[in-house]
Amino acid sequence: MLSDANLAAILLTLKLATLVTVILLLVGTPIAWWLARTRSWWKGPISAVVALPIVLPPSVLGFYLLVAMGPNGPVGRLTQALGLGTLPFTFAGLVVASVFYSLPFVVQPIQNAFEAMGERPLEVAASLRAGPLDRFFTVAVPLSSPGFLTAGVLGFAHTVGEFGVVLMIGGNIPGVTRVVSVQIYDYVEAFEYADAHILSGIMLAFSFTVLLAMYLLNPTRTHK
Amino acid sequence: MIRARFKLAFPEFALDVDLDLPGRGVVALFGHSGSGKTTLLRAIAGLEKVPRGFLEVNGSVWQDAATFLPVHKRPLGFVFQEASLFPHLSVRANLAYGMRRVPAASRKVSLDHAVELLGIGPLLDRMPGRLSGGERQRVAIARALAVSPAILLMDEPLAALDLARKQEILPYLERLHEELEIPLVYVSHAPDEVARLADTLVAMEQGRVVAQGPLLETLARLDLPIRLGEDAGVVLEGEIAELDADWHLARIAFAGGGLWVRESGLAVGRQVRVRILARDISIALTPQADNSILNVIPATVEQLADETHPALALVKLDAGGAPLVARITRRSAAKLQLQPGMKVWAQIKAVALVG
Amino acid sequence: MKHLLKFFFFSLAANLALADEVQVAVAANFTAPMKAIAADFEKDTGHKARLAFGSTGKFYAQIKNGAPFQVFLAADDTTPARLEKEGMTVPGSRFTYAVGTLVLWSAKPGFVDARGEVLKKGDFAHLALANPKVAPYGAAAVEVMEKLGVLESLKPRFVLGENIAQTQQFVVTGNAELGFVALSQVMKNGKVGEGSAWVVPAKLHTPIRQDAVILASGRGNAAAEALMKYLKSARAAAIIKSYGYAL
């Protein structure tokens, strides 16, 4: 039932989504922390930039990434100067693009959780001799854990479902950038509907299971 | 010794303070809401960063032009108005949180002592969500003690509790006061709390200190800028001298003589504080024997002052060195022709034992 | 006078009655020429052609699911043939309206020589082409490379665009040094605009026949029939040729 091509696409997609989610949790948490606590007037503009991928059509984002990462664009010139070549058509390029594209889906839940927690628990921790990093890991993170969980799931799911951006800069290379969403699209375009159904069905079942698990395991349901 | 100089000017809150406070006993920061008392406490803790402020606590400089010691490096304990226990940790873990971060060599208060002091032994394995307001606040106080602080700061710890809970916790606070050597800075807008606990009174209004000094004499000032209204009164210190088993009364000896109060299980020799509200003192030129008032004390009129209502006046009396303040109508004052220096009798209708 | 009036109203009515609308699905690569043709078509016949542009595969799916197109200009000949077999067209209406010309193009001037030797030299990291599974220009490009004997060596360097428009984007932005696109995409004023190109000789691949067909929903629509006739006219042929297609 699962052809080699399909399996390759699925594994590639999972690899991409996992890597992107981990990166976003690491990169997005400090951003969310700053946004939740700053009183600088930069908060507005930065929030808007972070939220852009929600409203931008993926093809727009993909196109600008294509230009920027290409040999004539600022990012492309940088990667070439570093001896890394250019990012389009590479798995690394997909990771970079997906990180941009899924950023708000990870940052916003974490930011909301930090804001909901407020200042008080951190003040208490400070009065109990906890330094800044200590406070963050022993108080902020546990109290915001539902936000982290939501962010991780949303980031993962959003990357799995991503299509427009991957299409624009992926180049559809088997085993490298041919992710499931593009594979399904190709099946439809080539009238191979049976394969399209199979792959879509698998992704649908997988996504549903993941989301269901998240909602069932969500800690806020078990607090008093 | 606590030396604090803070100046803050924001639309929401202003602070202009230049204070020297004793580094022992209970210092009460007293005032109405918006008076700046909480801001001052938070500035002392370092939770509010006041630029160009100065703070020295018992010899260590916590803040000056060049330095600002971050909160977590200050050897203080802080109790917030709403207990603010960590909801994800049990009571025991909450208590251990701070303690673990104090090197074993510097721990002066043992966990057991703090638990015993606040009577929270049976609560140790519960989660904060399952505690009552009073229990939560006691845990919060124990938690602050568990870091062996050099100074304990409390921001209206009883304000969020109902009367019954307050009465439940006040004795614990009094014990703290007696048993610990560390200074306690206590913010409150409740005169009865201040009366019970404070050694030093700092009265604040609109971000400024308007009166400060030892509790007993500061409270008795007629010119106390903070209008206490119905709560105006004095606090006296005395000792239980005698118990009358038949009538269930106890006599408290103080500078001006003796006061009979309801007995409350305290033994002879015990040092106590009593509070007498101004509205409970009336003045007579001659002692009356045929009325129900038990406590009639000879005193000298020291000073008269107006009250906010034009019908009333405050009269400060000297009873053997202890101050009394009586509130009477101006008409009566005129009728009795009260003058400073006159010898009169203070008829005290109610005396409250405040610990 | 009365006769003049009668004649006036009659011809007016006749014109109004005769002026019809036709919904046309047009392959994306034929966008520019079709717009020009439709404008002339309306001027000359009074009929109005409402154009929708997109990928052939998507149009097929939409038509099968009841999309209200009456005429279909595909990017290949297999899709209209399939529709015909499935009985979704007016039999006999299918014909080839244009033959696509493949070009190997680079945004860099002087990169592609006039004989395509650059393919054998292989001095590049990425070669763009349309996905051969779904785009006839891509399939043709594969045929060309096979004929030249470079298919296996170049395959690892392929980047696939979903259609030739996207393929061109890869090349324009420089991400792919060169790529196979349609001549009509890079033509300007009758010759190749910027960059460098090799116009692939038609004999190197199966002709890229682009077929048009009247769909079942267009049966009896006067404007549909008029459009098909117009596409075969000399006027339309001139436009089509000027955009780099053969006939």
- In chain C, the residue whose alpha carbon lies closest to the alpha carbon of A168 is C166
What confidence tens digit (pLDDT) does each residue in B5-60 have? 888 887 777 788 898 888 888 999 998 888 889 999 999 999 988 888 899 988 88
Query: Residue B178 has which token pair?
Result: 């007696």
CA distances from B103 to B106, C1, C189 (A): 6, 117, 84
**Chain A residue with the nearest C-alpha to that of B146:** A128
User: B192-201, C208-217, C222-231: which range is least confident on average?
Assistant: B192-201
Ranking A116-120, B223-227, C84-88 by mean pLDDT, the lowest is B223-227
Could you tell me the strand order of the sheet in which B343-348 lies?
B281-284, B343-348, B295-306, B312-319, B322-329
Chains A and B touch, contact meaning at least 3 pairs of CB atoms under 8 angstroms apart:
yes
* Mean pLDDT of all residues in A57-85: 88
| Nearest chain B CA: its distance from A221 CA (Å) | 14
Report CB contact under 8 Å: C57, A67. Answer: no
C128 and A171 within 8 Å at the Cβ level: the answer is yes
List CB contacts (< 8 A) between C134 and chain A.
Answer: 186, 189-190
d(C-alpha B260, C-alpha B242), whole Å = 9
**Cβ of B244: how many Cβ atoms within 10 Å?**
11
pLDDT digits (tens, 9 = 90+) for A73-87: 999 999 989 988 888
Q: Is the pLDDT of residue B294 over 90?
A: no
Mention every residue, 6+ apart, whose C-beta is less than 8 A from residue A93. Answer: A69, A86, A87, A169, A170, A177
d(CA B314, CA C189) in angstroms, rounded, equals 105
Q: What is the pLDDT of residues A185-201, one digit of tens each?
A: 888 877 788 989 999 99
Which of A172, A176, A183, A193 to probe by mutation at the C interface, max C CB count within 10 Å?
A: A172
Measured between beta carbons, the chain A residues lying within 8 angstroms of B87 are 143, 223
Cβ(A134)–Cβ(B97) below 8 Å: no
CB contact under 8 A, A189 and C169: no
Nearest to B227 by CA among B329, B332, B339, B305: B305
Nearest-by-Cβ selection for A127 from B78, B87, B102: B78
In chain C, residues with a C-beta closer than 8 Å to the C-beta of A197 are none
Chain A nearest-CA distance from C10, in A, is 49
Which pLDDT score is estimated for B355?
64
Q: Which residues of A touch B (CB under 8 A)?
A: 120-121, 123-132, 134-135, 138-139, 142-143, 223-224
Interface test with A, best of C173, C177, C178 (most A CBs within 10 A): C173
Find the residue in B nearest to A144 (Cα). Answer: B88
- Residue A169 — pLDDT band, cuts 50, 70, 90? confident
- pLDDT greater than 60 at residue A221: no
pLDDT in tens, B185-240: 999 988 888 888 888 999 988 888 888 888 888 888 877 766 677 778 888 889 99
- What is the average pLDDT across B301-305? 90
pLDDT digits (tens, 9 = 90+) for B321-355: 889 999 999 999 999 999 999 999 999 988 888 76
**Is C59's pLDDT higher than 70?**
yes
Question: Minimal CA–CA distance to A184: which of A166, A210, A209?
Answer: A166
Answer yes or no: do A142 and B71 touch at CB < 8 A.
no
Segment C45-52 mean pLDDT: 91
Q: Which helix (H) or strand (E) holds A150?
A: helix A145-160
| Residue B270: exposure state from Cβ atoms within 10 A (0-12, 13-18, ≥19) | middle
Q: What is the pLDDT of residue A224?
A: 39
Q: Is the pLDDT of residue A129 over 60?
A: yes
Q: State the nearest Cα–Cα gap between B32 and chain A, in angstroms.
A: 23
C166 close contact with A: CB closer than 8 A = yes
